[in-house]
Structure 1
Amino acid sequence: MIREFLRLALVVTGCLPAHAVIAKDITFEMVYMNHTNMIVAEGDITGDTPEIFEAFLQTEPFDGFRFVMALHSDGGSLVGGLRLGQMIREAGLDTTVQRHPLDPATGKPGYDTAAGRCFSACAIAFLGGVRRTVPEKSRLGFHQFSSAGGSFAKEDSVYMTESTAQLMGATVLGYIMKMGAEPDLFTWLSEALPHEMWEPDQDERTALRIVTPDRFRGFAFEPYGAGVITWSALPENVAGRSAVGQVTAYCKERVPYILLSSVSSANGVDPRTRQMIAEELSGWRMDNEATGQSASYGRDAVAIRMEDGLPLAELKLDGQGVELLKGGPVLIAVDFPAVIGAMFYLRTDPTEADRASLDAAFRLCIR
């Protein structure tokens, strides 16, 4: 539906914020970095932007583990933004909002970064990223699109304008849902007039899945044996060498544990790799990223699941670890050489409801 409509909607453009000054049409430049290549995209999004990006994809060599498009744009054509977002998703790129100032020595975007902005049609394109982040101080803004195409004063164009607006609204909503954001995003952006700008804060970006969640939350608990378990899934945590997509907490024989699992057999870890991990691991640790508190455990506190299934590793905790896990944003990582080709790590930031679920899971024992 989206692709067919875009061929007909060339008159539809996203409005720019009143303060915007577009310096140039969007350009794409590659910055090669360790394991991550940045595609620096800066300038105005136009109807020609998708073709420009397609030419860039055909001519620019890609040879990294991960590709991220760094967007810095005041917006432009909504149709161009929608098509660019689709192409970003089809190419499997991540997106972020940041600038790469020019390197004086080369005149090209350099390694240094600065806060960026991504408004209007740019924010729509941003949603195409497989993983989406907005660094601190960078700005992301949405608003209504305008479908009049310059015909505000022409009575004979009203029917076409309204008809286009209805179809475009359905297209934008469908695109938002396809890209994994919450449908409520369409309601919020529709409340900002074309000359206004709604800039969601971090909590709103997370709740509406504008940015990709990177922390396990929303723990659900359920009966198991004579006790309960609580678990949280985050498929987005599975990418590259990161294999953990679910974490489960429970108490077994009066000892607290957490189980790290993948989310599908396609994202699992083969038996040979599991054997290498079991031989090379040195333990695991938990770090509270807010307070700096940490807890470390030896290799005897890690049981690598050797079967070729979803469970990956069972980690044994103590009272200190339980309190750290419940207390705030923590990073959990099993220690083994990265050269093995897999990584067992996760971040969690429990809500009050999550803490209650974890309390229940660790209070009762599975028998």
Structure 2
Amino acid sequence: MFKVATIRRLSMAIFSLATAGVSAEPMKFQPGGNDTRCRECGFIQASGNIADDTPQAFQRFLDAAPNYVPKRIRLNSPGGSLQGGIRLGELFRARGFTTEVGSDRVDPEGHPHFGGRASVRTPGVCASACAYAFLGGIERVLDDGSKLGVHRFYTKSALTQPTEKLFSGRDLDDTQKIAAALVLYLVNMGIDARVVALAATAGPDEIYWITPEEARDLRVTYEPRGWKPWQVEPFRGGAVAVSETNDGTKRMVASCTRRLGPQVVLTNADMSWDVANWFEQCRTGLLGSAHPVFGTEVDPSRVQVSKRKEGGAFIRFRLPTTTPNLASPALFSFQSPAYPYACGSDQYEGSKINFEPAVRLAFGNCFQD
């Protein structure tokens, strides 16, 4: 696989040709979010035009920030320097940042996560060079109402004099090198290279807005912790309903056995911490008397925790025989009053897509245990 250094050698001398020519204030970085109980509540807001030296400005911001700065950045930018956008994306990837498309507004009643500024998320736009910076994120999130756009790269002279014969054979050679460098950048970032083809459909004064469906299919957006839609799978003459995270580390299975009735099994294959111990502590360490599972209450005596041979653990909830109302797939939710702070988590929110019909079918088609 080509490395980032290969891209730089291929295009260092020519990236200065590829500028978006937009009129905007230079990109600034500000703390944002609120100090509340969720991993995503704190972020860095990045707004404005991307210049060649924007990556250095971001590095200076990080150097001056406290150690607990959130690894999540929101981009709201019309574009700018292609060189700056790609190098900023490389920096996001190297530092393990999640990228979001969106803006924010000051929340005067909020509690700052860091840096003395509290804010709430609002939709935003990330276009041109900003889109390539966005692709550097480990996780990549396109907010509802926000827009992500791409177009062909170009030079300012070509934009101001579109009918003039400005280009030499060397310019054509450089253009091909830039296109190759963009493809290599996308491949190294795990993005489908067809994004370049989408960009080629829009001229310098146009934008191709990537739809959420295209973003998902081309891996432009990627949320490892996000849950896939529920699916029904046949099992031992019955059926089970299954949903798992995009990275495959967490899995929910709803089923019914003829002897024990309906049950929900939550598996966490993460081997970086003692999942089994956490499950066991939270099995009995309730503020209420029962676990809220898929819309019904489950007594701790009907909950079992086991370690997995492969690493991680699973927790099994045996539901009452009465059919639950299937209000929510979330387990150990921060929103539930049943759990103390230490047992609240945003890792097990589950997917609402196909949730009710899939789980109801699984609970109604019991297999022999």
What is the TM-score of this pair, normalised by structure 1?
A: 0.75
Distance in 1, Cα, partners of 2:368 & 2:200: 49
After superposition, give the CA deviation of every residue in 1:105-163 in whole Å (9 maximum; x if it has no partner): xxx965244432111111221122233333333222122223x5746755662x33343
Distance in 2, Cα, partners of 1:192 & 1:366: 58
* Structure 1 counterpart of 2:103, from 99, 120, 130: 99
Are the aligned partners of 1:94 and 1:130 in contact in 2 as well (CA < 8 Å)? yes
Measured after TM superposition, the shift of residue 199 of structure 1 is: 1.6
Measured after TM superposition, the shift of residue 358 of structure 1 is: 7.9
Please say if 1:82 is aligned against 2:86: yes
After superposition, give the CA deviation of every residue in 1:227-261 in whole Å (9 maximum; x if it has no partner): 55453331459xxxxxx622223332362333211
Are the aligned partners of 1:88 and 1:128 in contact in 2 as well (CA < 8 Å)? yes
Please say if 1:259 is aligned against 2:262: no
* Structure 2 counterpart of 1:119, from 112, 116, 127: 127
Letter in 1 for 2:73: M
Distance in 1, Cα, partners of 2:299 & 2:122: 41
Measured after TM superposition, the shift of residue 177 of structure 1 is: 4.0
* Structure 2 counterpart of 1:205, from 215, 226, 233: 215
SS in 1 for 2:197: helix
Please say if 1:176 is aligned against 2:182: no
Distance in 1, Cα, partners of 2:265 & 2:188: 31
Measured after TM superposition, the shift of residue 49 of structure 1 is: 0.9
Distance in 2, Cα, partners of 1:183 & 1:283: 49
2:298 matched to which residue of 1? Answer: 298
2:27 matched to which residue of 1? Answer: 26
Measured after TM superposition, the shift of residue 48 of structure 1 is: 1.0
Please say if 1:128 is aligned against 2:128: no
Distance in 2, Cα, partners of 1:279 & 1:357: 26
After superposition, give the CA deviation of every residue in 1:254-295 in whole Å (9 maximum; x if it has no partner): 6233321124423x53443233112214544367xxxxxxx2
2:202 matched to which residue of 1? Answer: 192
Distance in 2, Cα, partners of 1:278 & 1:313: 9
What is the TM-score of this pair, normalised by structure 2?
A: 0.75
Measured after TM superposition, the shift of residue 225 of structure 1 is: 4.9
Are the aligned partners of 1:212 and 1:236 in contact in 2 as well (CA < 8 Å)? no
1:240 matched to which residue of 2? Answer: none
2:111 matched to which residue of 1? Answer: none
SS in 1 for 2:349: strand
Please say if 1:232 is aligned against 2:243: yes
1:11 matched to which residue of 2? Answer: 16
Please say if 1:53 is aligned against 2:58: yes
Measured after TM superposition, the shift of residue 37 of structure 1 is: 3.3
Are the aligned partners of 2:74 and 2:102 in contact in 1 as well (CA < 8 Å)? yes
Distance in 2, Cα, partners of 1:83 & 1:21: 21
Gaps of 5+ in 2: 109-115, 333-337
After the TM superposition, which residues 203-352 of structure 1 pair with which residues of structure 2 at under 5 Å, given as runs? 203-213=213-223, 215-217=226-228, 225=236, 227=238, 229-235=240-246, 245-253=250-258, 255-266=261-272, 269-281=274-286, 282-285=289-292, 295-300=295-300, 303-307=303-307, 309-317=311-319, 320-321=323-324, 324=326, 330-334=328-332, 335-340=338-343, 345-350=348-353
Aligned length: 337
* Greater displacement, 218-227 / 194-203: 218-227
